[in-house]
């Protein structure tokens, strides 16, 4: 189905720090990880010099926003204390915004106190892999801060999610999950919500493809959809390759996600994602 033919109207702007960010056309979100054990080594960044070099590269390649994380959420990742997570990302945010004051930063965390510290230093979006389930204060914090909130689907924790992949009916369960949480967020006053189906989180490789094949069904929620499949196991395991070899497969899946209505591509490789978006827009006869 071509997304422009859908009967469901999707919110097409985000209020980011008092400025409207248009999602009329899809955008790319570049990944910056400050963790020693992220599954894709190419996204790991530590010293201030390398942080700024990678930031500059992502922005030059066309990233509309940067997603900064200090807690590895790969399956089985080691849990770290809250203060360590803050110490990884807060100085990075300061450095990035000093050098690139117009950069839009999303903080990838499930901890409300980390989100608040990051927003206090200039980050503008909360990206919560747990959908509020791992910190009961997160929804209220997002409402208090009045920033866009990325609501992802996951079960359990990064340490346990691979054992929580049984669903009676996957897509209806995802829709019910999102409907309940979106209602709770709106009741608290959160105005800008983005939906992320959580590829790779509490889902088998086959279930990831089931979600991708039915991604357009999430549009019934009337909210922008983020697709985060970059170099994940649904690509490299399906092809029998390493994450470092999974760029081509990622590009193929990103194009499919765009045809099914995704508005944000969360990626390690921004240049290729932006090119994919440009070609997608040619198919919809828009420049």
What residues are annotated to the active site?
232, 266
Exposed/middle/buried for 6, CB within 10 Å: 0-12, 13-18, 19+? Answer: middle
Per 3-state DSSP, the chain is made up of helix, strand and coil in percentages (nearest 5) of 45, 15, 40
Distance CA(153)–CA(227), nearest Å, equals 12
Q: Pinpoint the alpha helices (H) of 148-263.
A: 170-188, 205-213, 233-239, 247-259
SS3 196: strand
At 114, give phi and psi (nearest 5°). -70, -45
Q: Are 115 and 143 in contact (CB under 8 A)?
A: no
Tokens of 120: 């206090």
Beta carbons within 10 angstroms of residue 133's beta carbon: 18
Distance CA(54)–CA(103), nearest Å, equals 13
Q: Are 30 and 65 in contact (CB under 8 A)?
A: yes
């Amino acid at each position: 189905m071509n997304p422009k033919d859908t009967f469901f109207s999707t919110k097409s702007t985000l209020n980011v720090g008092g400025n409207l960010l248009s999602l009329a056309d899809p955008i790319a979100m570049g990944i910056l990880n400050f963790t020693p054990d992220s599954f894709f080594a190419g996204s790991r960044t530590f010293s201030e010099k390398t942080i700024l070099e990678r930031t500059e590269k992502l922005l030059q390649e066309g990233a509309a926003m940067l997603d900064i994380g200090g807690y590895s959420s790969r399956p089985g990742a080691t849990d770290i204390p809250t203060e360590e997570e803050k110490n990884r990302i807060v100085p990075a945010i300061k450095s990035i915004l000093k050098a690139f004051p117009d950069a839009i930063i999303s903080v990838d965390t499930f901890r409300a106190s980390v989100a608040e510290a990051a927003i206090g230093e200039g980050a503008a979006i909360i990206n919560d892999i747990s959908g509020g389930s791992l910190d009961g204060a997160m929804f209220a914090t997002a409402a208090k801060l009045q920033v866009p909130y990325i609501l992802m689907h996951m079960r359990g924790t990064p340490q346990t999610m691979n054992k929580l992949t049984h669903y009676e009916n996957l897509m209806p369960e995802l829709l019910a999950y999102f409907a309940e949480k979106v209602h709770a967020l709106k009741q608290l006053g959160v105005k800008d919500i983005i939906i992320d189906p959580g590829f790779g989180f509490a889902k088998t490789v086959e279930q990831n493809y089931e979600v991708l094949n039915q991604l357009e069904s999430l549009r019934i929620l009337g909210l922008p959809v983020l697709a985060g499949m970059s170099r994940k196991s649904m690509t490299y395991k399906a092809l029998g390759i390493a994450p470092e070899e999974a760029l081509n497969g990622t590009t193929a899946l990103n194009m499919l996600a765009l045809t099914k209505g995704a508005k944000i591509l969360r990626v390690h490789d921004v240049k290729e994602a932006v090119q994919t978006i440009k070609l997608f827009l040619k198919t919809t006869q828009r420049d």
